[in-house]
């Protein structure tokens, strides 16, 4: 897999440090809130595991599976709800964990969904924020890294469902997706 990567943007170590830093902030901010942490499958799997270990708070963990890229490099613009959460979120403090916010469509969809179910508060933590990609005005409250406008994979992020298990985030060689 390493051969398909043009350059590493965030190393294993960079990510571990970011998870620690965010975990401290989240511990402070969610101390007395008993949040429901909602991890957005599949991309957020690795980041969720690392960041929640750095959070010293009573928290419930749930998962929602939504997809719009279908493995490609461009958002289809349509969000599929593949698997819903199991929790009743009415009146609860929610922390969404994402791997990346790009166009903002996925996050907007999630926020609208959770609001319609009367969540008390919705905060967002993302490993990567690609601000240049934004088509919808949504913001994350906690950001690991601001990422340049390139197609990145690894550490949860896929190209055609592959590369999620790379321990770092990197830029894919264009030859991988142009052939
Ligand atoms: C990716 C990524 C985010 C979303 C961000 O998910 O994990 O959830 O797209 O893009 P957006 O801001 O343009 O909506 P994807 O649809 O690829 O599903 P996956 O997490 O299962 O890979
Ligand atoms: Mn995703
Ligand atoms: Mg994807």
The interface predicted TM-score (ipTM) is 0.98
Give the residue numbers annotated as catalytic, written as ranges. 102
Instruction: Compute the distance from residue 100 Cα to the ligand 2 centre, in Å.
Output: 7
CATH topology of domain 12-148: Rossmann fold (3.40.50)
pLDDT truncated to tens, each residue of the chain (179 aa)? 999 999 999 999 999 999 999 999 999 999 999 999 999 999 999 999 999 999 999 999 999 999 998 877 888 889 999 999 999 999 999 999 999 999 999 999 999 999 999 999 999 999 999 999 999 999 999 999 999 999 999 999 999 999 999 999 999 999 998 86
| Sheet of strand 60-67, all strands in order from the earlier edge strand to the far edge | 80-83, 60-67, 36-41, 93-101, 121-129, 142-146
- Whether 166 lines ligand 1, by a CB cut-off of 6 Å, is no
Are 68 and 105 contacting, i.e. CB atoms less than 8 angstroms apart?
yes
Distance 157 CA to ligand 3 centre (A): 6
Which tokens belong to 101? 């916010």
Is residue 68 in contact with ligand 1, taking CB distance under 6 Å? Answer: yes
Give the position, in ligand 1's atom list, of the atom nearest the Cα of 43.
20
**149 CA to centre of own chain:** 16
The helix (run of H) or strand (run of E) holding residue 110 is helix 105-116
Q: Whose CA is nearest to atom 6 of ligand 1?
A: 67
Model confidence, pTM:
0.97
Q: Identify the helix (H) or strand (E) that includes residue 60.
A: strand 60-67
CB 10 within 8 A of CB 166: no
- Token pair belonging to 91: 């009146």
């Amino acid at each position: 897999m390493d051969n398909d990567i043009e350059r590493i943007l965030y190393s294993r170590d960079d990510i571990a440090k970011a998870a620690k830093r965010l975990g401290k902030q989240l511990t402070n901010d969610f101390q007395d809130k008993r949040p429901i942490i909602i991890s957005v499958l599949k991309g957020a799997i690795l980041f969720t595991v690392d960041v929640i270990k750095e959070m010293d708070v009573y928290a419930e963990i749930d998962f929602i599976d939504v997809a719009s890229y279908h493995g490609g490099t461009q958002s289809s613009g349509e969000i599929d709800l593949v698997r819903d959460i199991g929790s009743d979120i009415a009146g609860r403090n929610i922390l969404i964990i994402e791997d990346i916010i790009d166009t903002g469509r996925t996050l907007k969809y999630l926020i609208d969904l959770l609001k319609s179910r009367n969540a008390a508060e919705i905060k967002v933590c993302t490993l990567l924020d690609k601000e240049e990609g934004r088509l919808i005005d949504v913001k994350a409250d906690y950001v690991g890294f601001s990422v340049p406008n390139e197609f990145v994979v690894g550490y949860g992020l896929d190209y055609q469902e592959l590369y999620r298990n790379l321990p770092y985030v990197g830029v894919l060689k264009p030859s991988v997706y142009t052939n």
